[in-house]
Chain A
Amino acid sequence: MIRLAGLTKKFGERFAVRSLDLDVPRGEVFGLLGPNGAGKTTTLSLMMGLLEPDAGVVDIAESGPPTDVGVRRKMGLAPQALALYQELTGRENLRFFGRIQGLSGTQLDERVDHGLEFVGLTPRANDLVAQYSGGMQRRLNLAAAILHEPQVLLLDEPTVGVDPQSRNHIFDNIEALKAQGRTIVYSTHYMEEAERLCDRVGILDQGELLALGGVNELIEAHGGLGVLTITTEAGEVRSIETENPVIALADWNRSELETVRSFEMERPGLERVFLNLTGRTLRDT
């Protein structure tokens, strides 16, 4: 559905995206993971045709590049920077964005009502966006992207700065959209979101795709061993990397004098995958 080949974009001398190859099949939820400045927004902008690549191609639904107006009709984008008119109400925003998507008449009314309902903003529809909370604005930002029922949906960090309630609402929305068979590219730097929502993820750092695959696949390949953390009666904390925590615990019991007060087993996650791939944690880049 989305095909990127050799996609490259430079700002000055710096590569924001470098020789990116990617195929996202129809109906997949694809996670684009990476720290700040990794090139996620740039990649999505190239996918949406907002930026001209310096090299490489983007092809959407085998119909050509998104710089084509006709191709863009099949796509929806929820930008990272909230794209809403603060001095219009939620409904007015959606009506306007629906119109420029070519909707009109009862179809427009229906789609706007549906959009408001979908993101749970119907009770606040007639309030100015300026009076919305951050989470509500995020949800409206999502609603504005799906008015025209696009086949391809690009969501750029749709959960930044929202409270857990709005976050769960957005997760439910994305799962519903997935169930409708839409192809979704979802960028985030929250690994647990990717683990919950995505069929496959790509890990992006400094414009390059470091790894690509299913969540479990990547963890198996790059996650390394699990970590067993033991706290002794004396309050000391020990970490042991191991494939089999039961044996490791038994070994500890046999060889060490200190008794175990508590222990904890951490399975490797995408966080560790990233750490192992880049030598850095996601959050401190």
Chain B
Amino acid sequence: MMSTVLAMAAKDLRLLVRDRGGLFFTLAFPFLVAIFFGSIFSGGSGEPRQLQILVVDEDGSEGSSLFVESLDRSEALSVELSSRVEAVEQVRRGKSVAYVALLPGFGASLSHPFAGSPPRAELGVDPARGAEAGILQGLLTQFAAERLQDAFGDPSGLQENARSGLQAIELSGATGPQAEGLKRLLTEVDRFATTQDTADGQEPRSGGQGGGFKLEPIRIEKASIIVAKNGPPNAYAISFPQGILWGILGCTAAFGLSLVSERTSGTLVRLQSAPIGRGQILLGKALACFFACSVVSVALVIFGTLAFGLAPSSWGKVAVAIACAAMAFSGIMMFLATLGKTERAVSGVAWASLLIMAMLGGGMIPLFVMPGWMQTLSNISPVKWSILAMEGALWRGFGWDEMLLPCVVLLLVGSVGLLLGTKLFRWPNA
């Protein structure tokens, strides 16, 4: 009997695809919402914004504070000093994008590029901000490399560096091609620094020939951070869930209307005269609506991920959120279809109710912009719970326990809608 229900759903989806007007509301408009509002609020996409980071100076040496200063001078960064505990907490709670901790010994290692290990820094970045993490890592390497360059620009410092480096290698008794290569380089550097005129500093090489030796300007260790609650990574993280909701609303209206038109066009009579139950007829319609809602939502999430930097923190939760929202609105669709006799009447009632749900639930104006009393009021709108579940899965980093409330609300709404819709449905002639 499932095959009957599937046949009904397949027929409805085919009809939906053939309906240009319907397709606009179920597909084109949601994409427009997602892209249009996202691009309006994401600010000029051309010039890069300053990346706000927290810096923890655990070294406290002259070298490390010079490094912090050079970070601060950079156009790309805005730096604030902080304690480690505070910094970790800020990033974890989404208040800050990242922190950089300069580990003890940072300054010394930085000014002795050939001795011991490279300067070590710890980087803690909000996992949802992968792009920024990359940029930050690049910037840190760049600054450390510049400090290295400065060292080469100062002949006496360079000579001292080279000698202490040579000493360190001999003391450690290291052998092998890499140690030999380094020794050769340092000897060269020593000779170069001795004969160097003070006026013209020459560009250093970052690596020596032979032995595959490489200088590592900075060693960055990444701290793993579990984000509790964070703000949206960008405007698209707000606009895509909104777009998805508009897609779901479009499907809800389209299928509510198609259910009514089964009655007005007489096809319902034929369905009823087939050897299938009334429940199956309605279930087929609900299922078709569920499919359509899911397909549109998944398409938007994938599109947003590929093209607009949406980075779902959990695909499993995204799937659950979409399924729950689709279920809720399939139920709402069934109920709305009982609210009028003709397509025109149902279309009016359905869009009026759906638009109010969207307005209250953050489908038009994002929830966080609303005043407190309105956010409370928004709890009555299934749109709010759908957006919450979607955002929870996309970037709020909800755990399953936090997903539970919106999902249960949505499933309840869906069940009640389905139940009322089935009970109140006007069969022809009855």
Residues on A with C-beta less than 8 A from B8 are 100
- Asked whether B172 is an interface residue with its Cβ less than 8 Å from the other chain, the reply is no
Contact B429 A51 (CB under 8 A): yes
Taking the closest CB of chain B, its distance from the CB of A69, in whole angstroms, is 5
Contact A88 B14 (CB under 8 A): yes
Contact B273 A75 (CB under 8 A): yes
Contact B429 A85 (CB under 8 A): no
**Among B19, B267, B271, which residue has the most Cβ atoms of chain A within 10 A?**
B267
Contact among A45, A88, A102 with B275 in the assembled complex (CB-CB below 8 Å):
A102
- Asked whether A77 is an interface residue with its Cβ less than 8 Å from the other chain, the reply is yes
Q: Which of the four size classes fits the interface of chain A?
A: 20 to 34
Closest to B268 in A: A83
Residues on B with C-beta less than 8 A from A88 are 11, 14-15, 18
Contact B267 A83 (CB under 8 A): yes
Cα distance A92–B265 in the bound complex, in angstroms: 17
Using a Cβ–Cβ cut-off of 8 Å, how many residues does chain B contribute to the interface with A? 25
Interface bits B1-33 vs A (CB < 8 Å: 1, else 0): 001100110010011001100000000000000
Contact B429 A97 (CB under 8 A): no
Which residues of B236-292 are within 8 A (CB) of A? 265-277
Cα distance A50–B272 in the bound complex, in angstroms: 7
Contact B273 A72 (CB under 8 A): yes
Residues on B with C-beta less than 8 A from A220 are none
Taking the closest CB of chain B, its distance from the CB of A176, in whole angstroms, is 22
Residues on B with C-beta less than 8 A from A263 are none
- Asked whether A48 is an interface residue with its Cβ less than 8 Å from the other chain, the reply is yes
Contact among B7, B15, B19, B270 with A83 in the assembled complex (CB-CB below 8 Å):
B270
Residues on B with C-beta less than 8 A from A87 are 15, 18-19
- Asked whether A37 is an interface residue with its Cβ less than 8 Å from the other chain, the reply is no
Contact A83 B269 (CB under 8 A): yes
Which residues of A78-98 are within 8 A (CB) of B? 79, 81-88, 92, 96-97
Taking the closest CB of chain A, its distance from the CB of B251, in whole angstroms, is 17
- Asked whether A280 is an interface residue with its Cβ less than 8 Å from the other chain, the reply is no
Residues on B with C-beta less than 8 A from A79 are 266, 269-270, 273
Contact B267 A85 (CB under 8 A): yes
Residues on A with C-beta less than 8 A from B18 are 87-88
- Asked whether B428 is an interface residue with its Cβ less than 8 Å from the other chain, the reply is yes
- Asked whether A73 is an interface residue with its Cβ less than 8 Å from the other chain, the reply is yes
Taking the closest CB of chain B, its distance from the CB of A251, in whole angstroms, is 55
**Among A69, A81, A99, A100, which residue has the most Cβ atoms of chain B within 10 A?**
A100
Cα distance A52–B278 in the bound complex, in angstroms: 14
Contact A96 B269, CB 8 Å, known A45-B429, A87-B15: no
Cα distance A90–B346 in the bound complex, in angstroms: 28
Cα distance A190–B4 in the bound complex, in angstroms: 37
- Asked whether B430 is an interface residue with its Cβ less than 8 Å from the other chain, the reply is yes
Cα distance A108–B3 in the bound complex, in angstroms: 14
- Asked whether A70 is an interface residue with its Cβ less than 8 Å from the other chain, the reply is yes
Contact among B19, B266, B271 with A81 in the assembled complex (CB-CB below 8 Å):
B266
Interface bits A44-76 vs B (CB < 8 Å: 1, else 0): 010011111000000000000000011011011
Closest to B5 in A: A100
Contact B265 A100 (CB under 8 A): no
Taking the closest CB of chain A, its distance from the CB of B342, in whole angstroms, is 15
Residues on B with C-beta less than 8 A from A99 are 3-4, 7
A positions within 8 Å CB-CB of B: 42, 45, 48-52, 69-70, 72-73, 75-77, 79, 81-88, 92, 96-97, 99-102, 104, 144
Q: Which 5 A-B pairs have the closest CB atoms?
A: A81-B266, A83-B270, A99-B7, A83-B266, A73-B275
7 A-B pairs within 8 Å (CB atoms) are namely: A48-B272, A72-B273, A79-B269, A84-B267, A99-B7, A100-B7, A102-B4
